Amino acid sequence: MTSRVRLLNQREWSSTGRYVLYWSQMNRRVVSNHALAFAVHLANRQNVPVLFYEGLTCTYLYASDRFHAFLMQGVAETARSLKELGIGYVFHLRRRRADPDDAFYRLAANACAVVTDDYPVFVAHSHNRRVPEKLAIPYYAVDASCIVPGTHFEKQEYAAYTIRPKIKRVLEEYLKPAPELRPTHEFRESIPKLHTEVSHENIGELIASCEIDHSVAPSTAFLGGRLAAEKRLNYFLEHNLRRYAKFNREPSAEATSGLSPYLHFGQISSLEIALAVRDYAEEHKLIADGLLEQLIVRRELAFNFARFSPSLDSLDALPNWARATLAKHDSDPRAYVYSRDQFEQAATHDALWNAAQTEVLTRGIIHGYYRMYWGKKIIEWSASHAEALATMIYLNDRYALDGRDPNTYTNILWCFGLHDRPWTERPIFGMIRYMTLDGMRRKTDVDAYIRSVTQTRLL
């Protein structure tokens, strides 16, 4: 079995440290968290307690009320679960840019070792490159995001058909619950001053005090937190797993899980979902292959791409055939050309596209099938392919609750041919797969979707 753990510096264990510090950067949960389990394992071995640290700064990319709210809605539950286990908890809210940016280092100064999340994009990725060398104690990164750890794969996979057999070969080994947490030493110190107490009552006030983008409001459809994630999973199992294969491409049927925001913020793990889906399907004699293909094969293909690709926001990351065909058609005339602002304001000539954009503006998500259409049309109506890519990343990362994720960049680049195959050549797209409004109308209930999104806007 490939280990989930990587030691990212060569430092001695501190003999004066008082705890093992778990820095929860992406996996903001207590259960089914291999990184936290590893921190507990190290702490038990050294006879010290664990301190769980979670930070929220005002400086991350597109910091807004939407992301702050979703994340903070999980804090009180995390605090409660950790208290029951005897694990210490610090949640630090850095409200203004002028506020000190050293909370992690202050906590690490009293730690024997640090354990954190191994994650291939966004802030965790850059922290894990920069921070280990600055510490005098060991810094371990643990893959608690994927079912088969990313390090199991030695290179970038070409497509789903190349990674699928590799995953299937080892899946049974990894499809097992994460170790239970049994810390032997309770955290008894007083909670450091930099802790911010969060309750459902004060979230609004805390968000208002932060120097972030207040124009992107919390989602009208998603409440963050562990409880909300569990409710969604249970609802999906009871009502939609049996419908998923038939209806996952019919947005008006609302048959998908809606779990991607919780996966992105780490409030639930893909492992827990896969185990729950497998068990429920066995018990109720259902076939769950469709959902497991997305959750395991597609999602882990995205992590594999993010881990190995030299760039995530450039057309250079595409396979040769896609780069060549796009270059050939980059200057083709466009029937419509929209600016980033026009896209952002859902002001195109196409009511379906506008509804998809409105969905991300209000709910913070776009149904997966229309998300493909959304991306393809940005390619068709942008002045150049490079501009289309930048627009998509901007809109997705600024508004989507599941944005800034390995799935984000992989799926946006999928619209440009990544992990796909050549199709018939046509203007603008070359041999990249194309999607039409007629096709959407034939295959889905476009009008029902437009109505439902418009109603959300009125909430």
Ligand X SMILES: Cc1cc2nc3c(=O)[nH]c(=O)nc-3n(C[C@H](O)[C@H](O)[C@H](O)COP(=O)(O)OP(=O)(O)OC[C@H]3O[C@@H](n4cnc5c(N)ncnc54)[C@H](O)[C@@H]3O)c2cc1C
> Which residues of this protein are in contact with ligand X, per CB under 6 A?
248, 256-260, 263-264, 294-295, 298-299, 302, 368, 371-372, 375, 396, 400, 402-403, 405, 407-408, 411-412, 415
Burial letters for 393-424: b for 16+ Cβ neighbours within 10 Å, e otherwise? Answer: bebbbbbbbbbbbbbbbbbbbbbbbbbbeeee
Residues 6 or more apart whose Cβ sits within 8 Å of residue 149: 2, 3, 4, 143, 174
CB of 419 vs ligand X, minimal distance in Å: 9
CB of 265 vs ligand X, minimal distance in Å: 11
Nearer to ligand X, 144 or 372 (CB): 372
**Taking the CB of residue 8, how many other CB atoms lie within 10 A of it?**
18
**Taking the CB of residue 199, how many other CB atoms lie within 10 A of it?**
11
For residues 162, 163, 169 and 172, what is the CA-based torsion angle, rounded to 10 degrees? Answer: -160
CB of 87 vs ligand X, minimal distance in Å: 27
Nearer to ligand X, 94 or 398 (CB): 398
Which two structure tokens, joined as six digits, stand for 427?
A: 């203007």
CB of 404 vs ligand X, minimal distance in Å: 7
Nearer to ligand X, 13 or 161 (CB): 161
Collect contacts of 73-76 with beta carbons under 8 A, ≥24 apart.
73/200, 73/203, 73/223, 73/224, 73/225, 73/228, 74/28, 74/29, 74/224, 74/225, 74/226, 74/265, 74/267, 75/198, 76/198, 76/199, 76/200, 76/225
CB of 13 vs ligand X, minimal distance in Å: 36
- The residues facing 19 across adjacent strands are 111
CB of 236 vs ligand X, minimal distance in Å: 7
Nearer to ligand X, 131 or 263 (CB): 263
CB of 133 vs ligand X, minimal distance in Å: 31
Instruction: Give the nearest residue (CB) to ligand X.
Output: 368
How far does Cα 245 stand from its chain's mean position? 23
Nearer to ligand X, 91 or 399 (CB): 399
Nearer to ligand X, 34 or 371 (CB): 371
CB of 62 vs ligand X, minimal distance in Å: 12
Q: Measured between alpha carbons, how far is 449 from 251 in angstroms, rounded to an integer?
A: 7
Q: Measured between alpha carbons, how far is 450 from 351 in angstroms, rounded to an integer?
A: 7
Q: Measured between alpha carbons, how far is 245 from 250 in angstroms, rounded to an integer?
A: 10
Nearer to ligand X, 208 or 448 (CB): 448
CB of 440 vs ligand X, minimal distance in Å: 13
- CA distance to 388, 392, 394, 428, per residue, from 326 (Å): 12, 17, 21, 7
Taking alpha carbons only, the member of 359, 384, 387 closest to residue 371 is: 359
Nearer to ligand X, 183 or 258 (CB): 258
CB of 183 vs ligand X, minimal distance in Å: 30
Nearer to ligand X, 5 or 302 (CB): 302
Using the Cα atoms of residue 181, residue 184, residue 186 and residue 187 in order, give the sign of their dihedral.
negative
Nearer to ligand X, 391 or 408 (CB): 408
How would you class 288 by CB atoms within 10 Å of its CB: exposed for 0-12, middle for 13-18, buried for 19 or more?
Answer: buried
Which two structure tokens, joined as six digits, stand for 270?
A: 């893909």
